[in-house]
A and B are shown apart, each in its own frame.
Chain A
Amino acid sequence: MAVKVNHSKCIGCAGCVGVCPVLALTLEENKLSCDASKCIDCGACIKICPFGALSKGDSK
């Protein structure tokens, strides 16, 4: 599982990285990515994103 990042909404504040319980999110330069092998789909990052840039990804 992995959260989907809407890069046109994300401003690279990294707040989501700090609340992710499993260190699945990384902000490199200003580009956010989610490691699907770590993400547990808890939704904490989606809830706190000020810009609504994160959403649930498709589970596989």
Chain B
Amino acid sequence: MRTDFDAIVVGGGPAGTSFARKAAEGGMNVLVIEKKKDFGVPVRCGEGFSERWNQVLEMNVSDADLGARMKGAAVFAPNGKKIVLVNDQTTGYVLERKMFDKRLALEAGRAGATLLPKSLAIGLVKEGNKTTGLRALHEGVEKVFKAPLIVSAEGMEAKIAREAGFDCKYDPYDVDACVEYEMVGVKCEPLIALWFGNEIAPRGYAWVFPKGVDYANVGIGVGGSTGADPKKLLDDFIGNHPEFFGDATVVEVKGGVISVGAPIKKMTSDGFMVIGTAAHQVDPIHGGGIGLAIEAGLIAAKHALKAFESGDYSDAALSGYEKEWRGLEEEKLGKRLKLRHVIEKLSDDDFNHVFNETRSKDLDEVLNGHFQGLAARIVLKRPSLLKVLKVLI
């Protein structure tokens, strides 16, 4: 096989294969290195994908490609009060990631990218200070690939990006530890359901993401710095809700660690781009990152193609990607991080109080970053919450 490329992508998840598809469509010779033998496994998330991301996919997909249709979200307070919310962020799909990631990889291959599973990236190739390629173990044999551009789409691990000097390390405070069962025999509605509360899931939440009329992803995430045991909490949660899970059984165990912090400070350098979860491009409220990863991959490819045409792969040339991405997502994600930091300070009693004052319309506004109305109303009724909520007013 050839060893010289225009770009080498490390990681075959949604960010990496979306980058590869668009860059290859534009004429670049792209190599995608994937350490596993196939794409999309093991699944490490709830597989939620909101409606609005259909607009950024740049790919023809049918409902069948996208999995189970969701009509909205249901949020539960610790005391069980439920609020249903329907908007373009809560309607969408619960994907079958094994199929979806493979479809993205297929389209990258169709566009002309070279995909190389069973290949572990082990280090950068340097000439002086300049990165000129990548070393990888392919089926245990070391190979050297050359390219003027390396793209880290490495997800949580980000070892190559960290070797290149990017600050991708995750602090335990900025992650949730998650355990999830795919269960059949679940009584579920076509709604993404979330349960909050410090007893249910310290600094996190429990979820039911339906994948059909009787089966769903059922999971719990807890703050990574809490030391709580998500598997025990998930078993407790399931045991405490026989009305949903009384007849259910586990068909698959999944889990992982998800990013719930801020994006990294810098996403490009000379001949290098970082995209997706490696760049911490994840929603800090629910830990969703599939749509953000695809969007980042496609934006990065657009700017990589400009570099390909001009031959200028300098940081200045590539940084257009970061600027464009921040313009689209930074403000919204920043507000959501602020909201997360407030939610995790609420006691269960405070949370119940907040929820008693909250209508579906308020939740819609809050998710869109308009906190003032609701926060002010809550503080009027419970002034002790001013200390926690004042950052939102």
Interface residues of A (CB under 8 A from B): 11-21, 23, 26-30, 44, 47-52
Could you tell me which residues of chain B, from 214 to 241, have a CB within 8 Å of some CB in chain A? 224-225, 227, 229-231
The verdict on B369 contacting chain A, using a C-beta distance below 8 Å, is no
Contact B172 A17 (CB under 8 A): no
User: Which B positions have Cβ atoms within 8 angstroms of A?
Assistant: 35-37, 42, 44, 118, 120, 137, 155-159, 162-163, 168-172, 175, 177-179, 224-225, 227, 229-231, 253-257
Residue of A nearest to B178 (CB): A50
Which single member of A11, A29, A48 contacts B118 (CB below 8 Å)? A29
Besides A18-B169, A50-B179, 5 more A-B contacts (Cβ < 8 Å) are A19-B170, A27-B157, A47-B227, A48-B224, A50-B230
Interface centre among A13, A18, A49 (most CB of B within 10 A): A18
> A27 to nearest B CB, angstroms?
7
With beta carbons under 8 angstroms apart, the residue of B159, B163, B177 that contacts A15 is B177
Q: Which chain A residue has the least Cβ–Cβ distance from B179?
A: A50
- Which residue, of A13, A17, A30, A47, has the highest number of chain B Cβ atoms within 10 A? A13
Residues of chain B within 8 A (CB-CB) of A30 are: 36, 42
Q: In the complex, what's the smallest C-beta–C-beta distance from A11 to chain B, in angstroms?
A: 6
Q: How far is the CA of A5 from the CA of B133 in the complex (A)?
A: 32
Chain A residues with CB below 8 A from B254, complex form: 11
Q: List residues of chain B with CB within 8 A of the CB of A49.
A: 177
Residues in B whose Cβ lies below 8 Å from that of A28: 35, 120, 137
